[in-house]
Structure 1
Amino acid sequence: MSVLVAEGLQTWYGKSHILHGVSVAVNDGEIVALLGRNGAGKTTTLRSLVGLTRPREGRVTIGGRDTTSWPPYMIAALGVGYVPEGRRVFANLSVEENLLVPNGRTGPWTLDRVYGLFPRLRERRRSRGRQLSGGEQEMLAIARALLLNPHILLLDEPSQGLAPLIVREVFAIVSGMRREGMSVLLVEQNVRAAVEIADVACVLDDGRVAFSGSARDFAGDDERVRKLAGASSADWGKGGSSEN
């Protein structure tokens, strides 16, 4: 069953046409990796899904409800957690104060459980957000989203600026979300790390879906993975990919 479905999204920033008919779906307990070069439209896709940048055309359905024109707070209340690029933690609040900011939904994710998943945050619960390392800030941003008890988690570039060891730790946590029955839509520049944990890979090129299919099949095609930094819709259209 699909938790989230986007169909034919046409999104603009002013006079700039960013998304050209983007479609993506995330099913129950599934991790979908949304990949592509810088400027391909990945972040705009997430913003269109959560109501921050409303598409001019197309349709977004979450939990069977048409949320295309809904404001962000109503979409979040449906059980959509969003961790934006750059983490956006409150620099002058402590870790615990950051975690208590969301008006969470009832569910299995509590402060104690989050601290169990991220013991480093428990250790640093009185530290200010600005005093945390990049990896700790990313953990805090994910933990804060989990306290909303979401059905689906949208992550924008969780590995950005992190050391390789911390990247592995963060991706292990994201993979664990699937075991909890949570769905994840993951925007990521670290292609190989993303497809290792994803079920589905969706590649954007200049605001269009250039490939959508099995992450395992995608990861097994070294040429495609290498070409991702310079993907073109014409090239990706070959070999069983889908194009919109």
Structure 2
Amino acid sequence: MSMLEAEGLHTFYGKSHILHGVGLEVREGEVVTLLGRNGAGKTTTLRSIAGLTHAREGVVRLFGKVTTDWPPFRIAGLGLGYVPEGRRIFSTLTVDENLRVPAERPGPWSIPRIYQLFPRLAERKTNKGRQLSGGEQEMLAIARALLLNPKLLVLDEPSQGLAPLIVQEVFKVVTTARDEGISVLLVEQNVRAAVAVADRAYVLDDGHIVYEGSAAEFAKDEERVRALAGASAEEWEPAGEG
């Protein structure tokens, strides 16, 4: 079953044509990664899916419903959890207060469960958002999205600016979400980390999809991975190995 289908998306910022017929699919219970260099259109694709920047042409279907022109709050209410680039937590609220902001939806994820998944947040629950490290802020942003009990979790650059050990923790959450039956769409500059956890991969180049297929197969193409990875070409070693 398809959780997300995007077909022929053309999205503009003013007169700038950013997406040129972008299409992708996320099926039930899988992790899909969307890769590409800076400026390729990855964030714009996510914004088009989440209703933050509507496509001028094309169709977005979420859970079988056409949501192309829906406002973000309706899309979130349908079961999409979106963690934007830059985290965007409330810096003047405590961790606990941040976690009480999302409207509750029925499902397995609750604040006590979040504190089990992220013991670090439990230790810092009375600290304000601005007092957290970058990694703790990312955990908090993901935690808020999980509290919506989404059917599809969309993550934009969750490892950006984080130390390698914290990156491993963040990616463990991605696999935990999948194990819980949540589908995941992941935009990520750390190509090796992304293809290690993803089932399928898409590659964007200048607003066009130039690759679609198995993430494992893409990972074997060392030349392509290095070309995409750039500064993130370091070895990726999942937690618990090596």
TM-score (norm 2): 0.94
Query: Aligned with 1:167: secondary structure?
Result: helix
Partner letter of residue 12 of structure 1?
A: F
Displacement of 1:223 in angstroms is 1.2
2:209 alignment partner, SS class: strand
SS of alignment partner, residue 192 of structure 1: helix
Structure 2 equivalent of residue 177 of structure 1: 177
8 Å CA contact 2:190–2:229 kept in 1: the answer is no
The match for 1:122 is 122
Corresponding position of 1:242: none
2:153 equivalent to 1:157: no
Alignment of structure 1 residues 1-244 onto 2, 5 Å: 1-228=1-228
Aligned counterparts of 2:29 and 2:161: Cα–Cα separation in 1: 27
SS of structure 2 residue aligned to 1:108: coil
1:81-106 deviation digits (Å, cap 9, x = unpaired): 00000000100000010000011211
Distance in 1 (alpha carbons) for counterparts of 2:229 and 2:210 = 13
Corresponding residue for 1:234? Answer: none
Deviation, 1:173, is: 1.2
What corresponds to 2:235 in structure 1?
none
Please give the alpha-carbon distance, in whole angstroms, between the structure 1 residues aligned to 2:227 and 2:167.
22
Spell out structure 1 runs of 4+ moving beyond 4 A: none
Paired AA for residue 92 in structure 1? T
Amino acid corresponding to residue 166 of structure 1 in structure 2 = I
CA distance in structure 2 between the aligned counterparts of 1:229 and 1:38, rounded to whole angstroms:
10
Count of residues in Structure 1 that have an aligned counterpart in Structure 2:
230
- SS of alignment partner, residue 29 of structure 1: coil
Deviation of residue 191 (structure 1)? 0.2
| SS of corresponding position for 2:21 | strand
Amino acid at match of 1:38: N
Cα distance between partner residues in 2 of 1:222 and 1:164: 21
Q: Partner of 2:204: helix, strand, or coil?
A: strand
Counterpart CA distance in 2 for 1:29 and 1:224 is 27
TM-score by length of 1: 0.93
Percent sequence identity is: 70
Cα deviation for residue 227 of structure 1 reads 2.1
Deviations 1:211-235 (A, max 9, x none): 01000000011011112258xxxxx
* Structure 2 residue runs without a partner (length 5+): 231-242
Q: Distance in 1 between matches of 2:228 and 2:73?
A: 34
SS at match of 2:211: strand
Output one character per residue of 1:122-147: Cα deviation in whole Å (capped at 9) or x when no partner: 11000000000000000000000000
Indicate the residue corresponding to 2:237 in structure 1. Answer: none
Distance in 2 (CA, whole Å) between partners of 1:18 and 1:52 is: 14
Q: Quick check: 67-76 or 173-182, which moved more?
A: 173-182
